[in-house]
Structure 1
Amino acid sequence: MIHLAKRVIRQTINDKRSIMMILVAPLLILTLVYFLLGDSGYVPTVGVNTSTVPDPVVTALKGEDVKVTDVSIDDTQAAKDYLNDHEDVDAIFLLSEQSGNELIMHEPDSKAAKAASGIQAAMGSLNPKAELDVTYVFGDADQSTFDSLGYVFLAIFSFFMVFIISGMALVRESSGGTLERLMMTPIKRGEVILGYTAGYGVFAVIQAVLIVIYSVYVLQLQSVGNIGWVLVAMVLLAVTAVSFGAMISIFARSELQVVQLIPFTIIPQVFFSGLIPLDLIPYHLGYLSYIMPIYYGAAAIKAVMVYGEGFTGIWGYLLGLIVYAFILYLLNTQALKRFRKL
C-alpha cells in the first residue's frame, strides 16, 4: 500500500497539469470569485423629477449611496420608456398622491437591488413606515430565480456539454493514432477541422433544439421574444463549443488533460456569462467577457427571452460567435501541423 501511494505521489508530481489543477486552479478561481462578488463600489443612478419630488426627499436620496439625476417624468409608462432608452439610469423614483412612492427599474437583478436599497434607506430616514411600490420594465418581482437566470444556464449547459463530448472524442482520436493516420492522407488540414466540426455539430444542433424546447414548453421558462432566435444563438454557441473543444483536444494528450483544463477554460466563462451584471464587476474586469464565447451566446439568448429582441437586437452577438468560431478554426488548422510532418 505504501509503495502504491508513493507511486501515485510521484506520478502526480511529475504531471504539471495535475499540480496546477490541485494547487493553482482553486486559488485562481477563489481570487476571481473574490473580485467578482466583492464590493464593486458601483453607485446606482436614480432618476428623480426634482420639480415634483420634495426637496427633503431629494436631499435624503443624495445622502445615500446613489447618484441622483433630474428627469422630467411623472408617470409609470413614461418612466419605463425612459429606462428602456437610457441604460445608464438604473431606476426612476416617482412620488405622487395617486400612486405614492413608486420605483421603476429595468429588471430584478443586482443593480436593481442596489438602487432599491439606497432609495429604501433614504425614505426610511424620513418616514420609517414608508413603502415602495416596485415595478420592472422587464420581468416582475414575483418571478422565480429560474425565470431570471434560466437563459444563462441554457448557454452554460449547451457550451459545457458539447465541449466535453467533442474534446474527449477528439483527444481519443489523437491518442489512438487515428488523427495521425488521417493526416498522412492528401486531406487538407482545414477539411479535417471542418469535418470534425460538422460531425459533432450535428449532435450539438440536436442538443440545442432539445434543451430549448424542453426548457420553454416543459419547464415553462418564460420567453418574451421568438424562440427561433434562441435556437439560432444556441446552435451557433454549440458549434463554437465544438471548435473550442477541438482546440483544447489538439493540445491535450489524454481525456484527463482535457478535464484538467476545465478550471482554466470553462469555469471563468461561467462568471462572465451574465450571472453578474458587467457593471458590477470591479477593476473593469467585465471587459474580459468580450473574449469569452459563452458571453455572446448568453447575451443573445437574454436579449430574446428577457427583452423580446429580434435579429436587429442580437445580430452583434451572433456575429461575435461566428467570428469566434472562425478564429478557432484558423487556430485549429495551424495546430494540426504537428500531426503532419512534411
Structure 2
Amino acid sequence: MNNVFNQQQTLSLLEQLVNIASPSGYTANIMRFMGQFLQDHNIPYTKTNKGAIIVTFKGDNDDQHRLLTAHTDTLGAMVKEVKQSGRLKLAMIGGFNWNAVEGEYCTIHTASGKKVRGTILMHETTVHVYRGAGDLKRDENHIEVRLDEKVFSAQDTRALGIEVGDFVSFDARYETTESGFVKSRHLDDKASTTLLLQLMKYVKENSVKLPYTTHFYISNNEEIGYGGNSNIPEQVVEYIAVDMGAIGDGQASDEYTVSICAKDSSGPYHYELTQHLIGLAKAGNIDYKLDIYPYYGSDASAAIRAGYDVRHALFGPGIESSHAYERTHIDSLQATAALLYAYITSPMVEMED
C-alpha cells in the first residue's frame, strides 16, 4: 500500500491543478486537463452534460457499486459592474469572506479569451487619504478590482473586452516548505482531486482487482451546491465525498491526518459507513481524526438531498484556513491516500435486514 502514494508526482500534479483557473461556472479548461490526464494513462471516461467526468472500474461484484467524488471547481468572482472609474465591482462565486481575498492578485477572463490582470483591493485602501479605512466593512460595496491597464473610465475598461459576467479567478500562490507544508488557494478541493487521479492511475497501472464496480466522479459545481447530485448510476450503494476537513477552534481535524466527518450542516453521515472508514483507518494504522463540521456541505449531502438511495460518507485531508489562503501537510495527503486505497479494496458495509 505504501506505493500508492508517490509524493513527488502528487505534489507536481497538485501544483498544476491549483494553477488552472476554475471558479464554479468556468471549469472547461480544468476538465479538459482532467480528460487529457486520463487519456494519457489509458483510462476511459465519460462526460456529463454539466461537464463532470465519470470513470468506471469494473469490480468482481457488478450488482452493487461504489462511487467516490471530488470537485475541481473553486471559489472566485464575476464582474458585477464596470465602474465609471474603470475599476470593477465583483459578485462572489461560492462562500468566502471578502477580507480573505483583499490584496490578492487576480485575472479577469474575458469572453474573447483575453486575460487581464488586476488586484483586489478596498476602494478606500490609501491610508494617507481615507482616515479610518481599516474599520470599514469589507463587502461588495467597498471591494473592487484595480486593473493593471491604463484605464480612466468605464469606456476604457470595456475597450479591453471586459464586461459584466466575466469570470475573475484568484492567484493560487502555490508553495511547499521543507517541513512538509503545502500552501495554496484552492486546496479545497484540488488536493482531493489530485489524490483521486493518482489513485485511478495506480489502479490502472497495477491492474488492481476491486471487489465492487467503482466509479470516480470529478464534479465541477460543488462550491455552488449541486456538483454531484446527478448522473449517479442506479447500482451505487455507497457514495463517498472526498473533500477537505475543517480546522479551527473546537475542531478535532488537523493538517497531519485524514479527517472523517460524522456530521455537517446537512446532518449526520451514514453511521455504519462512517464506522467502516474508522475501522479501516485503525486496521491500517492510518492516522485519522473524527470530526463534525458546523458550516459545511458536500457532494454526498447534495446527492442525499436530490433523493438518491445511497449510504453516504465524507473524508479528506485537513485544510487550514479554508476558503482563504489554505494550507495542509504532506502527512495529511498521505493518510488520505492510504484510506482511499483501503476503502476501495475493502468489503462493503453489511447492513442488518
Per the TM superposition, whether the score is higher than 0.5 is: no
TM norm structure 2: 0.25
Q: TM-score, normalised by structure 1?
A: 0.26
Larger relative contact order (CA 8 Å, sep ≥ 6): 2
Tell which structure's C-alpha radius of gyration is larger. Answer: 1
Greater helix content = 1
